[in-house]
Structures are given as structure tokens and as C-alpha cells.
Structure 1
Amino acid sequence: MKKYLTIFVCLLSALFFAACQKQDTSVSKTGFYFDTVIKVTLYDADAEPELESCFALADKYEKLLSATKKGSDIWNINHAKGKPVVVSKETISMLQKAIDYSELSDGAFDITIGELSSLWDFGENKDTVPSQKDINAALPTVDYHNIEISDNTVTLKNPKTQIDLGGIAKGYIADQMKAQLRSDGITEGIINLGGNVLTVGPKKSGDTYKIGIQKPFDDSGSPIASVDITDASLVSSGVYERYFEKDGKRYHHILNPKTGYPYENGLLGVTIITDSSVDADALSTTCFALGLEDGMKLIENTKGAEAVFITEDFTLHKSSGIGSEIPFHEN
């Protein structure tokens, strides 16, 4: 039996904002960027101009960092057939940040997975497993060492290598939106880029933002737990976000760069909480790829980062700061 979670359902079910809904005045806007639904809510009735500025940034960064947007920096790199491409300073910064996480994870997180991930389609009514022949052909293109950066020029040493920033770009963009809002004097709000959530400041009321952690495979959107955060980001990666079932086997979108197939490590999901959304974004994928033991070790050795891992038996495994430094409520 097929079962899919659309982007919109995933966005609605990933998080809930019960405490936030108590705000009396707010402005919000929803749009579609980076192949996902995004929503920004600001708790200031006069903040329409600042809200529009956020979506101007969304448009700007999609035109820089999207692998599917013709003419973007990443699209140009991927279609240069190994020739050098001059890109923006921000694209260079984004690529260097991603490479740092590739180094940290020994390639478990790798943004050159584009050629491989293009073989898989997790959209509605798609349930085709790529052939082993096609996977074998794509695997050699996946190696972050193929990215060569010199000043503001990027060259792919393997012309068939394809960059995909899907595992880190939304976090970077959320951070840029928050920085812009701060500079504009906005002190309260929520940035939600397809489930990548970043809260802006403490509330004037003194309340925290209560954010739910999605219960895997629960289409009703019920949370399995929630945390109380202030001026922080929460990002989750899980097998329940995009997947299909074929011949009794579930295939999800978090691919192992070494095998070409989805990771099978006993995890259903990983939620990361940090001050930086770009770090939360990259760490959620990295920790999922590393598995429970190594992923938890990484979190415990990363200053300012906390995590909740969900294993296949729906057991919650919390890092040391969850429940102490960060209030935690299990449902």
C-alpha cells in the first residue's frame, strides 16, 4: 500500500505553535520557495514591510542557491561541465559551510549527492526504485572533494557531479531572514521554512515558544513531544517526511552517499535545537546519517546543540541539555 506525505502536510504536521497563538496581533505570509511551503509570522501588526523583506530574501536566495532554478549560482555550477564558474560571496560561504559538515561527518553529509538523488522520486504516485546499474553509475559523482573553490570561483573536478544544497540552504536562509528582521527592529516572530523553524527573540510577555516534534507517520500532525525555546532554531529530519513503499519495503529521501540507497540505521527521525538554523539544518541530516550512537556523540561534543533522536520503536533519546537547559514535554 502506498503512503505519501506531501510537502504541505509535512509542513502542517511537523510543528505546532500553541503558545504562539495567544498573541493578540500579528501579520503573516505564506509562499512557495525551495520546493516547499514557507511561512513567516511577526507579532507586530505594523510589520508588513518587514514581512515583505523576508520574502524578498527568499526570492533572492532561491535565485542563488536552488539547484533547479535556471540561472542560479548552483544551477550554473552544475551545468558548466567542469568549467570554472564565478559565483556570489554568499554562495561561496554556503558551499564552505556545507563542506565543513562533510568533513565533520566523513562524507555522511555530502552536498554533491545531486546526481544520485535525481534517480529517486518521492513525489505523489511515485514508487520506482532506481536500477542498480543507474545507482552504480551515479555513485562516483558523489564526493565533496570534487568541489574546488578559489576566491569566488567554483569548479567541479568531476563534470558529472551535481550539487544539491537541500540539506542546509533553508537553515542559512532562515538565519539571514532573522538577521534582517533584527536590523529592522522586529523582536518577536516565527520563521518556518518547510519545517525548519527559527524563533525571533523572547516574547514581550516573557513566554517561550512551544514547538512540537512530529510523531513519525502520524498524518493528524500530533506531536510526540514538545520543547520550549527562545530565540533558537528547531529542525527535524526523518524517514516520515518523504517516502514511498514498494513490495513491503519503505524507501525514504535521506540517502546514503556510499550505497545510493536510503539509510537503514534504526532511526525514524532526529530533531536538532541550536541558536543557528544553518547548523541545525546540517546537523539534523548529519546526525541522522551517523546513527544514534555516533550522532549523539557529535551533539554532546558540539557546543550549544541539543537533540532528540527517535528510534524505530518510537523511543525518544535525548541529549544532556534536553529537559534541563531546554524544557521538554513528552506526550
Structure 2
Amino acid sequence: MVHTFAKRLLLAAALTLLVACNDTTTRPQIDIEGKTMGTFYSVKISGEIEQNKQQLQQEIDALLEQANDDISTYRPNSVLSRFNQTHSSEPQPIPRGMADIILMAQRIGRDTHGAMDITVGPLVNLWGFGPDKRVVKAPQQPQIDAAKRNTGLQHLKLLSDNRGEWLQKDLPQMYVDLSTLGEGYGVDQLVRLMARKGITNYLVSVGGAVSSRGVNGQGKPWRVAIQKPTDRENAVQAMVDLQGYSISTSGSYRNYFEQDGQRYSHVIDPATGRPINHRLVSATVIAPTALEADGWDTGLMVLGTEKALKLAEEQGLAVYLISKTDDGFSAVMTPQFKAFLVQ
């Protein structure tokens, strides 16, 4: 799986925001940027708003800080870190937003037959892609087997009663990692903030997750460019008009380490406990919410091109896949994705 807030900073450029089409603006546009979850966030609003920019940024920062306090594995006192630190099998109280992430992760985990698994934290840490120090060499099979024994979505239960939501594990050493959905969750939080303030023309992003509504400062639809899987940040592969939907991209081509001439990606396959070794290098998903898109792109990335495309077609998902070939790269998409494509 694709993991950790800090490491996904390297995927932030996977989606390039195309805002201005020319130098002449027809309406005011506010740009707010900052750091969160080990990556960057951006909020672009066109048209007049009642609140001043500084006050709005303070609210945005506070909102994203709360998300970090809930689900960051890099903060030892976050709700999720405290859950991971306890070896108790008793249900632990969690905030509603975190419960929403868990519920989405469980659903996509089932639909991807375990390819999207938020319990692979022990494997992520073992390979050096978690909050712990990066390893300098690949772990041995006995280490991988030992870490795998502490994983599995079936060992994690989400409970709800009239008092709130609760999370329970039956493996004492289980380590839940929600980094794969953190950016999408952050975007959805920003979308809700826009709605509460009556803002109807915006584009918001956290790392590789983006959502938009309405038009930009030129009165034109916001467009998002999918980057080619290269180190050049402005190499555009395709462009989409989100039409009020959300988009998220997962990739394997930037965050990795090499040993003895072999590249080890940060995308961990829960089935093998090892980094993926297939040719799919980028998976982009458009969905009604950024959380859903962020979860699906991870699972599809693990599956590889053929299995990912087959599942996307069965589920009716809007998906764009880029694979490495002997001659460069090739792309394939579902009909649902094509409907968002800017020709």
C-alpha cells in the first residue's frame, strides 16, 4: 500500500492545478496555501467572500491540525497513535471523522480483496516507509512473515452506539496506518468548510487529492492535469474537468530505495508483504468524495494494471492507469473516466 503523510509529499506533484488560462481575470480570486500531513494544501476561491483571507486561513489550518491530531502516525499523541500503542483488545473511543475513514477503508478493502489494507502498518514500518527510521536494506523473509502475522482487516472492528464510535483490535501488536486516506479526508473536510461558508467556486487540494466546484477567476471550469510519471513536475499526461467531483492519484515512481540494483517502491502489497513489482506506476481515480478516490487509487495501485482495470470496470469506477513499457509509458482508462477528460 501507499503510505505515510511525510512520504506522500513526493506524490504531491502528481496532480498539477491549472488555474489561470490568461493574464486577465474577470473576478477576484483568493489563493491560500500551507503545509499539512507532511505535504502541502491549497485552497483557491473565485468571487467575493464575506470573510477575510487571514481569518479563513486560520480556520483551514485549525481544521487540518485537528485531522492530524486524530489520524497522524507521526504524532505520538494522536488518537490513532494512542490506539496503536495500546495492546488492549477493549474497544477504544475514536472521533466521528476517523470512524468515517475506517468505514471507507473496510469497504474498499473488501472490494479490492485485501489490496487496500490499513493494517499493514507493521510492514510499512519494516520496509522503512513509516514514522520509524528508514531501513538501509531490504528485510529478510522471516521478518516479513513476523510482521504479516500482525496484519489483516478481519482483526479490526468498527463499533457504534449511542455514545459514539469505537475501534477494536484482536491482535495486540496491530498497527493501523490511515495515511493512504489522509489526504482525501483532508480535502473532504475543506469541501465541507466551503459549504458551511456558502462558497460555491473553489478548488481545494491536499497533496495528491483534489476537489473542485464552480469556476475559476476567469469564469472557466477548474481543470486538473495528471502528471506524467517522470521527475519533471510540469509534464502533463492528461487533463480533466472534475465537474464537482474529486480526484486522487497514487504512484510508485518517486518514493523508493535501491539495493543491489533493485528498486523497492513504497507501495506495499499486503498479500506478499513486499513492495509491488509490476509495471503499473500511476493510478488516478475520480469519485464523489476525495476520501473514496484516495482509497481506491491505493488498492488499484497494488493490484497492477490488468487486475485494476478489470475491477474498475466491474465497479463502474472512473479510473486512469499509467503503466511502464519497454518503450516508455502507456495509459488506459475506463469509459467513466473518459467522460471527465478534456480533449
Q: TM-score, normalised by structure 2?
A: 0.85
1:89 to 69, 88, 96: 96
2:200 corresponding residue in structure 1: 187
Aligned to 2:39: 36
Which residue, out of 41, 52, 71, partners 2:77?
Answer: 71
Contact 2:209/2:248, CA 8 A, preserved across alignment: yes
1:321 aligns with 2:336: yes
SS of the residue corresponding to residue 163 of structure 1 reads coil
CA distance in 1, matches of 2:107, 2:7: 31
| 1:34/1:167 CA distance change after superposition, 3 Å | same
Match of 2:268 in 1: 255
Aligned CA distance change for structure 1 residues 130 and 31 (closer, same or farther; 3 Å) = farther
User: 3-state SS of the aligned residue for 1:224?
Assistant: strand
Structure 1 pair 135/311, CA: closer, same or farther in 2 (3 Å)?
same
RCO higher in 1 or 2 (8 Å CA, sep ≥ 6)? 2
SS in 2 for 1:187: coil
Matched, 1:129 2:135: no
Aligned partners of 2:118 and 2:178 also within 8 Å: yes
Q: Does 1:99 align with 2:111?
A: no
Residue of structure 1 equivalent to 2:156 = 147
**CA distance change for structure 1 residues 220 and 101 in 2, over 3 Å: closer, same or farther?**
closer
| Higher mean C-alpha displacement, 116-125 vs 188-197 | 116-125
| Cα-to-partner distance string for 1:159-196 (whole Å, 9 max, x where unaligned) | 11100001112212211210121120111222111121
Give % identity.
25
Residue 252 of structure 2: aligned partner: 239
Residues 132-179 of structure 1, C-alpha deviations (whole Å, 9 max, x = no match): 232121011110111123322222100111000011122122112101
Superposition map of 1:147-226 within 5 A: 147-151=156-160, 152-203=165-216, 207-226=220-239
- Contact preservation (8 Å) 1:122, 1:244: no
Query: 1:214, CA displacement in angstroms?
Result: 1.5
Kept in 2, the 8 Å contact 1:202–1:231? The answer is no
Summarize the Cα distance change of 1:6–1:83 in structure 2 as closer, same or farther, 3 Å threshold: closer
Unpaired stretches in structure 1, ≥5 consecutive residues: none
Alignment match of 2:302 (pick from 289, 292, 304): 289
Measured in 1, the distance between the counterparts of 2:97 and 2:10 equals: 31
TM-superposed deviation, 1:204: 7.5
Map Cα deviations across residues 196-228 of structure 1 (whole Å, 9 max, x no partner).
111133447552222111111233431222222
Aligned residues: 322
**How far did 1:34 drift?**
1.6
Counterparts of 1:55-66 in structure 2, within 5 Å, are: 55-66=61-72
Which residue in the other structure is 1:280 paired with? 293
Query: Deviation at 1:131?
Result: 2.7
Report the CA distance shift for 1:6/1:298 in structure 2 as closer, same or farther (over 3 A): closer
Gaps of 5+ in 2: 1-5
Verify: 1:111 aligned to 2:118, yes or no. yes
Match of 1:228 among 218, 222, 241: 241
Contact 1:15 1:223 in 2 (8 A): no
Amino acid at match of 1:307: V
Q: Determine whether 1:14 maps to 2:14.
A: yes
**Change in CA separation of 1:300 and 1:35 when aligned onto 2, cut-off 3 Å:** same
Distance 1:189 1:52 in 2: 17
Report the alpha carbon displacement of residue 68 of structure 1 after superposing the two structures with TM.
2.3
User: Which residue matches 2:3?
Assistant: none
The alignment partner of 1:234 has SS state of strand
Taking structure 1 as the reference length, the TM-score comes to 0.88
8 A contact 1:20–1:210 mirrored in 2:
no
Give the 3-state SS of the residue equivalent to 2:77 in structure 1. Answer: coil
Instruction: Please give the root-mean-square deviation of Cα atoms over the aligned residues, in Å.
Output: 2.5
Return the alpha-carbon distance in structure 2 between the equivalents of residues 244 and 112 of structure 1.
22
Q: Is the 8 A contact 1:50 1:181 kept in 2?
A: no
* Contact kept? 1:15, 1:195, Cα under 8 Å: yes
